[in-house]
Amino acid sequence: MVPDYRLMGVINVTPDSFSDGGLFLDEQAAVQHGLDMVEQGAHILDIGGESTRPGAEPVEAGEEERRVVPVIEALAAATRSLPEPPQLSIDTSKAAVAQAALAAGATLVNDVSALRADPEMVSVVAGSGADCCLMHMLGEPPTMQQEPRYGDVVDEVRAFLEERLSFAVREGISERRVVLDPGIGFGKTVAHNLELLRRLEEIVAVGRPVLVGTSRKSFLGLVVPRKTGALCARTRGGVAEPLPIAERLPGTIATNVMAFERGASVFRVHDVAPVADALAVAAATLSGKWTPSPTTT
């Protein structure tokens, strides 16, 4: 049975991504990681060659293309014969990189700038007939976490996404091909992120599938109650630091399950298997339609 949600597995072909930078810079390692995530339940593989973590430095289009295109080509070839091949997504804001990735086998463009960074991007997406994800981001990665401010973060993010959706449709992108992302962690404080998750139904009400990307992000460590003794959160100079990335999976699972309950339908994650299990339980509970799987002897 096809679930009414999709898991997007993250493949960072970068040396500097916040959670796994350098682990999958090698083409073979990246391809195997993607195949492993498909085995674990990923419906989409999101391949990126430029980090968008806070403070990240930009990458030239040629280098970004060099990193991602061979991985996309290899994954397209390796998964083509599967009964349900994963959709391949290119995580980029550069039109040239998107065009090369689409030619290599990608069918989704995940643009964190929501078609603002490169004026040619909208025509690339529209002309290809590809799907696209439009994300809200306040500022740019190098500066986005420097005291972000909003009047009402949910109202402002929703208005932004509505405007970008209208722009995309006016420029020839079919509305049914657009996914919206409120941009958790992109120019938001902990309080902003939590408010977006709490009122996610207001983003869902725009009428397009909503993607949520909370996986391993630092705000998850900051909202965990401080522990005592051997489990005490790390401190430096008396100031609490976020829990290490390796300890953020419980928060990732919790936020994805809550987002699913509030109407999100695409979940961008690094740890596919545990999130897939959590969402399967949530879906069975909320739908009331669980059916035992066939058993083998």
Rounded Cα distance between 24 and 26, Å, is 5
**Candidates 6, 188, 216, 268; catalytic one:** 268
- Name the nearest CA neighbour of 245 among 44, 13, 53, 4: 53
Place of tokens 């998750």: 197
Kindly state the tokens that stand for 279. Answer: 């969402």
Cα atoms in the 13 Å half-sphere on the side-chain side of 79: 26
Rounded Cα distance between 33 and 40, Å, is 11
Q: What is the DSSP letter of 143?
A: T
How are beta strands 239-240 and 235-236 bridged, if at all? antiparallel
> What backbone phi and psi angles, to 5 degrees, belong to 3?
-70, 160
The neighbour count for residue 155, using CB atoms within 10 Å, is 12
Rounded Cα distance between 264 and 203, Å, is 9
**Candidates 217, 234, 236, 289; catalytic one:** 217
Q: Is 268 a catalytic residue?
A: yes
Q: Is 217 a catalytic residue?
A: yes
Active site residues: 217, 268
